[in-house]
């Protein structure tokens, strides 16, 4: 119980910093050199304003200076980060590999929030997620296996991206041929269709390092199931509104599969 409490507190602390990362990286602001401040009145926050989870509760969700509402994102990210650390500590105890694995999931959490809010996936966080995942091994053999799995799924997603993009672009090109006239037949203005973002490829590498081959395939399938209702919901909307960030679903599926690793593997081995 003491170990889990320690893990939860560590998760809260890192979650507090994660809020800074989520807010500042998309704005290209430093996450190190400038102290925390209110985004409404620009007042510098006092140390007691930055106590994870509790400050938001004690302040009633409002800035101590201008009384502007503080986004509920702050306590939620801190709480989720604490739960991530606690769950991983419950499985692997307080160890350095467990810490690196938890940090990898925190990077996925930050990527999910940024992708959801800004439709962007920063390479800096993606690289950190991969590094934490690869080095979250208990021995050199495990580290090499994590690296191998990361490369495997990065390559697999790259190939999938190229194939789907080629197919979609070719389909539009062939459809455009029907509208060609003697005046424009020598001009090809077919746009290249990106079927998948580069950020998704790097997230796939992190998934491979964290889960291994079998479980990553399960996580990819689960992420598609989680995203399906949202995709069906936005199909009737405009093209811009149809763009659904996929990183949050990949990250959520990865964490679910990681938690239930043993029963999932047992089911796979028993039935396949």
Write out pLDDT tens, residues 14-69: 999 999 999 989 888 888 777 787 777 878 888 778 888 888 888 888 888 888 88
What is the per-residue pLDDT for 193?
55
Strand partners, 171: none
Which residues does 179 contact at the CB level (< 8 Å), separation at least 6? none
Q: Can you give the pTM of this predicted structure?
A: 0.86
* Contact between residue 104 and residue 136 where contact means Cβ atoms under 8 Å apart: yes
Above 70 in pLDDT, residue 189?
no
Backbone angles phi, psi at 160, to 5 degrees: -65, -40
Within 10 A of 121 (CB to CB), how many other CB atoms are there?
A: 21
DSSP state of 243: -
Burial per residue of 81-98, b for 16 or more beta-carbon CB atoms within 10 angstroms, e otherwise? bbebbbbbbeeeeeeebb
Q: pLDDT tens digits for 223-232?
A: 999 988 887 7
Structure tokens at 250: 């990949």
Q: Distance between CA 222 and CA 260 in Å, rounded?
A: 13
Q: Distance between CA 72 and CA 248 in Å, rounded?
A: 18
What is the per-residue pLDDT for 10?
94
Residue with tokens 């306590």: 75
Helices 213-234 and 140-177, axial angle in degrees (round to 10):
40
Identify the weakest region by mean pLDDT among 58-67, 195-204, 222-231, 250-259. Answer: 195-204
């Amino acid at each position: 119980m003491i170990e889990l409490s320690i893990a939860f507190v560590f998760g809260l602390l890192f979650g507090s910093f994660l809020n800074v990362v989520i807010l500042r990286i998309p704005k290209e602001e430093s996450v190190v050199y400038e102290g925390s401040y209110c985004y409404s009145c620009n007042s510098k926050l006092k140390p007691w304003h930055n106590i994870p989870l509790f400050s938001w509760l004690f302040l009633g969700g409002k800035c101590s200076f201008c009384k502007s509402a503080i986004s509920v994102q702050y306590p939620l990210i801190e709480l989720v980060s604490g739960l991530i650390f606690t769950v991983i500590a419950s499985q692997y105890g307080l160890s350095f590999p467990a810490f690196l694995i938890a940090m990898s999931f925190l990077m996925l959490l930050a990527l999910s929030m940024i992708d959801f809010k800004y439709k962007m996936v920063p390479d800096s966080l993606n690289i950190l997620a991969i590094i934490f995942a690869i080095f979250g091994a208990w021995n050199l053999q495990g580290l090499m296996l994590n690296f191998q799995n990361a490369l495997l799924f990065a390559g697999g997603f790259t190939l999938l991206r190229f194939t789907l993009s080629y197919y979609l672009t070719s389909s539009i090109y062939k459809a455009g041929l029907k509208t060609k006239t003697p005046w424009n037949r020598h001009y090809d203005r077919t746009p290249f269709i990106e079927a998948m973002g580069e950020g998704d490829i790097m997230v796939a590498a992190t998934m491979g390092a964290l889960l291994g081959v079998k479980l990553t395939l399960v996580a990819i399938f689960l992420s598609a199931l989680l995203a399906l209702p949202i995709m069906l919901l936005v199909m009737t909307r405009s093209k811009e509104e149809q763009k659904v960030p996929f990183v949050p679903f990949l990250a959520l599926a990865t964490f679910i599969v990681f938690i239930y690793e043993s029963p999932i593997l047992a089911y796979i081995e028993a039935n396949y």
